[in-house]
Structure 1
Amino acid sequence: MSLKSILAKPYAKLVSTKFYKESNNAVKIQQKVFNKLISQAKHTAFGKDHNFENIKSYQNFKDQVPIRDYEDLKPYVERVVAGEPDVLWKGKPLYFAKTSGTTSGTKYIPLTKESMPMHINAAKDSLLLYINETKKTDFLNGKMIFIQGSPELKEQNGINIGRLSGITAHYIPSYLTKNRLPSWETNCIEDWEKKIEAIIDETINEDMTLIGGIPPWVQMYFERIVARTGKKVGEVFPNFNLFAYGGVNYEPYRNKFEELIGRKVDAIEMYPASEGFIAYQDSQTEKAMMLLVNNGIFYEFIPSEEFFNENPTRISLADVKLGVNYVIILNTNAGLWGYNIGDTIEFLSINPPRIVVTGRIKHFISAFGEHVIGKEIEDSINYHTIDTGITVSEFTVAPQITPEKGLPYHEWFIEFDKKPTNINEFAKKIDATLQQQNSYYLDLIVGKILQPLKITVIEKGGFNKYMKSVGKLGGQNKVPRLSNDRKIADSLAKFEEK
């Protein structure tokens, strides 16, 4: 056993003890975070505009600070991008995380000297909690890879700009540098398909023990390894036993991953966003992720069914309930205030606060009043693929409002690795499960407003071809699980299996 492995266990125990002490006092810790954020930002332009000096309670804050998305906050962000200090947070940011927005074009999310360590420490601590629970440290002795964006940065008005995953690549702890792959040169390759091949070149003969990234892009990496070697990933990397992921739900990919790997491996789900590191899976026996209550973020929650109301209910962690779909709102030590990142979550536990991501508030289908969300469609398809031999590579759902024949319906575009023997029967099973989860959808089916869902089978590799055609192959990009229009659906149709 290496010195690294020996030292990791007592360190992991210390981190774990502190983590659970905070998690079990989450409301109290959140109040402290709130007070600190208000105090530190009261002399900023935003703080002065919103009377932070006189905010003494959460109710005061709600009265002064409205909910905003990026477009609403953009006038302040543009001042920061222009080089003005003390706008949203004291001083200037260290970085801007550059992301693609659907309504605002390119978004520039500030990362400050206070917020940057929160991103790095959260990722590190998730691994330490895994060590403390499982006592497994062997992965520390092999090679690790996080399939991510380019670490190259561009400077503008004294602030470096890049992708979040590329920015964090500059913060790899020195004791892990020798273990980390790929090389800097390979990580900087912009063409995703060339980058994957270069990553394989560098990793295929290494002792890979930890692999991380967004599931669809790690899946591409695994598929290319199998195609090149003719072996399962678990044979190529016999000591690979830990997969760290985020960005999308792993469950729709789990069957495919286990087939590609050739065995089950432990997995840690993480919830990192450019706006802040929100949660991670703290236990292999818990499906949900622990909300990080002492990570520079004060959280607010709005019931998703009220979100588009004029005066929706807006609460702190102290008042959340189980079984409610919430839009999560962030207030951060990077200067985001009342900020809607667009995600919806549900609490599976309140004390301590464990959550699952249920979808995107703007990614739903309600063309007929059904308001079907991402979690419902993922659960419906997972129920009929896990342990059934059916393997789904990728899928998305859209409404078909004006079919050539019959009633409207939901159209599911699915790329299978292993298809069901009868597509129509498979569609009926998914539809029945969706009806059980969503009473509005059930009523529409029973009331003959909608007919049951239909599946359009996409050719193998079709989703990657679609993503490439729209310039979003690889990186942090992912296909939305569902849409309320036909934009994606109509583009995918050209990749229908013949």
Structure 2
Amino acid sequence: MSLKTIAAKIFAKIIYNKTQNWAKNPVVTQQKVFLDLIRQATNTQFGIDHNFKSIKTVEDFVKVVPVRDYEGLKPYVDRVVKGEANVLWRGKPLYFAKTSGTTSGAKYIPLTKESMPFHIEAARNAILHYIHETGKADFVDGKMIFLQGSPILEEKYGINFGRLSGIVAHFVPKYLQKNRMPSWETNCIEDWETKVNAIVEETLNENMTVISGIPSWVQMYFEKLHEKGGKPIGEIFKNFNLFIYGGVNYEPYRAKFENLIGRKVDSIELFPASEGFFAYQDSQKEKGMLLLLNAGIFYEFIKSDAFSTENPRRYTIGEVEIGVNYVLIISTNAGLWGYNIGDTVQFTSTKPYRVIVSGRIKHYISAFGEHVIGKEVECALQEAIIGTSVRINEFTVAPQITPQIGLPYHEWFIEFENEPEDLTAFEEAINSAMRKQNVYYDDLIVGKVLRRLVITKVSKNGFQDYMKSIGKLGGQNKIPRLSNDRSIIDLLIKE
């Protein structure tokens, strides 16, 4: 056992104990975060406009700070982007993370000197919790790869702009610099396909022990490795035993990954975003990710089925229930206030508070009142795959409201690696699982408002070609699991 391994285990125990201190006192922890956020932002323009001086309780806050999405907060963000200080948070942010746009184009999310450390610590602590629980730490002596965006930043008005993953690349601890891959030069390559090819060349003969990234893009890396090396990934990287991922559910990809690797490997799920690092998987035994209650973020939750009503109730951490679908609302030490990030979560535990990401509030199907969310389609697909040789590269679902023949239906667009022997039976298996997942969907099937779902096969690399056509190949970009219209499908079919 190396000194580095021994040190990692000691450090892991220290961090685990620190985590327990706040995780066992969730309500008190969140109350301290809330009051500290209000205190620090009282004299900002946002604090003045919303009378932060008068806020003593969460109830006071709810009365004066409405829930906003990026569009609602944009007038304040625009002032910060132009270099104005003390608008949403004290001073100016260190960085702006550029993310995929909404109706206004690109979004610019502030990262401050107070918020930035939590992005780094959370990713580190996820690994340390894994070490503490499993006792496995030998991987720290090998090479680690993090598939991420370019670290090249652009400066405007004294603030650096870039992709979150590229910004984070500037904060890799010194003790990881020698282990980290790819090289800085390769990481700076903008074109994703060129970048992945370069990463394959750099890593093919290395002792890779940890690989991290969004599953769909790591899959692309693995496929190119397999093509180049001619062997399963587990034979190319004999000591590779830990996969770290975030952004999308790993389960639909798991069978394909294990086939590419040639064996099972442990995995750690993360819940990072430009707006904050919200949760990480703290246990290999328990379902869900530990919600980070002491990380400069105050959380509120709105029940998804009430979100579109007037003045829906905003719940705090001590009021949430297991299994309910909530829209996640945050206020942060980067200056986001009552901010709807667009994700929905469900709690799997309240001792401690663990969550799963159940979908996106804007990514759903309810063309007929079925209220289908991302978690439901992923679980249904996973259930249908169990016990089969079916492997799936990617998929998305959209309603077909005006079919040429028969009743409307949900259309599943799937890129298969291994196709089912009987596509009709596979459709029925998914459909049955969906009916168990969602009572409204079941009612529509029984009432003959909808007919059974239909699978449309997507050609090899069809989803990659689609993402490339819209300029979103690689990085942190993901295929939406659900759409309530056929705008994505129309473009996908053209490819």
Q: Could you say whether these structures have the same fold, taking a TM-score greater than 0.5 normalized by the shorter chain as the test?
A: yes
Q: Contact 1:255–1:386 at 8 Å: present in 2 too?
A: no
Match of 1:60 in 2: 60
2-structure distance, mates of 1:472, 1:84:
31
Match of 1:100 in 2: 100
1-structure distance, mates of 2:14, 2:256:
36
Matched AA of 2:468: K
Match of 1:175 in 2: 175
Question: Per-residue displacement from partner, 1:189-248 (whole Å, max 9, x unpaired)?
Answer: 111110000000110010000000000000000011111111000000000000000000
Q: Which aligned pairs between 1:97-136 and structure 2 lie closer than 5 A?
A: 97-136=97-136
Match of 2:217 in 1: 217
Question: Per-residue displacement from partner, 1:104-139 (whole Å, max 9, x unpaired)?
Answer: 310000000000000000011111111111111111
Q: Which aligned pairs between 1:183-222 and structure 2 lie closer than 5 A?
A: 183-222=183-222
Match of 1:374 in 2: 374
Match of 1:455 in 2: 455
Q: CA RMSD in A?
A: 0.8
Matched AA of 1:213: G
2-structure distance, mates of 1:244, 1:20:
22
Q: Does 1:15 align with 2:19?
A: no
Task: Name the count of aligned residue pairs.
Answer: 495
Q: Contact 2:215–2:248 at 8 Å: present in 1 too?
A: yes
- CA shift for structure 1 position 10: 1.2
Match of 2:159 in 1: 159
Q: Does 1:259 align with 2:250?
A: no
* TM-score (structure 1 length as normaliser): 0.99
Q: Does 1:403 align with 2:379?
A: no
Matched AA of 2:13: K
Match of 1:430 in 2: 430
Matched AA of 1:198: A
Q: Does 1:43 align with 2:39?
A: no
Q: Which moved more, 1:367-376 or 1:384-393?
A: 384-393
2-structure distance, mates of 1:276, 1:427:
38
- CA shift for structure 1 position 491: 1.8
2-structure distance, mates of 1:79, 1:263:
52
Q: Which moved more, 1:137-146 or 1:460-469?
A: 460-469
Question: Per-residue displacement from partner, 1:386-414 (whole Å, max 9, x unpaired)?
Answer: 34211011000000011111111000000
- CA shift for structure 1 position 188: 0.8
Q: Which moved more, 1:231-240 or 1:432-441?
A: 432-441
1-structure distance, mates of 2:61, 2:51:
9
Match of 2:482 in 1: 482
Q: Contact 1:26–1:351 at 8 Å: present in 2 too?
A: no
SS in 2 for 1:298: strand
Q: Contact 1:233–1:262 at 8 Å: present in 2 too?
A: yes
2-structure distance, mates of 1:107, 1:16:
35
Q: Which moved more, 1:484-493 or 1:89-98?
A: 484-493
- CA shift for structure 1 position 351: 2.0
- CA shift for structure 1 position 462: 1.0
- CA shift for structure 1 position 287: 2.4
Q: Does 1:420 align with 2:420?
A: yes
Match of 2:149 in 1: 149
Q: Contact 2:37–2:333 at 8 Å: present in 1 too?
A: yes
Match of 1:277 in 2: 277
Matched AA of 2:54: N
SS in 2 for 1:359: strand
2-structure distance, mates of 1:348, 1:120:
25
- CA shift for structure 1 position 470: 1.3
Q: Which aligned pairs between 1:337-348 and structure 2 lie closer than 5 A?
A: 337-348=337-348
Q: Which aligned pairs between 1:280-295 and structure 2 lie closer than 5 A?
A: 280-295=280-295
> Where do 5+ consecutive residues of structure 2 fail to align?
none
SS in 2 for 1:334: coil
- CA shift for structure 1 position 466: 1.1
2-structure distance, mates of 1:350, 1:328:
16
- CA shift for structure 1 position 493: 2.1
- CA shift for structure 1 position 439: 1.0
Q: Which moved more, 1:90-99 or 1:443-452?
A: 443-452
Which portions of structure 1, spanning 4 or more consecutive aligned residues, are displaced by more than 2 angstroms?
A: none
2-structure distance, mates of 1:462, 1:408:
25
* TM-score (structure 2 length as normaliser): 0.99
2-structure distance, mates of 1:134, 1:438:
36
2-structure distance, mates of 1:173, 1:219:
27
Matched AA of 1:235: E
2-structure distance, mates of 1:419, 1:180:
37
SS in 2 for 1:342: strand
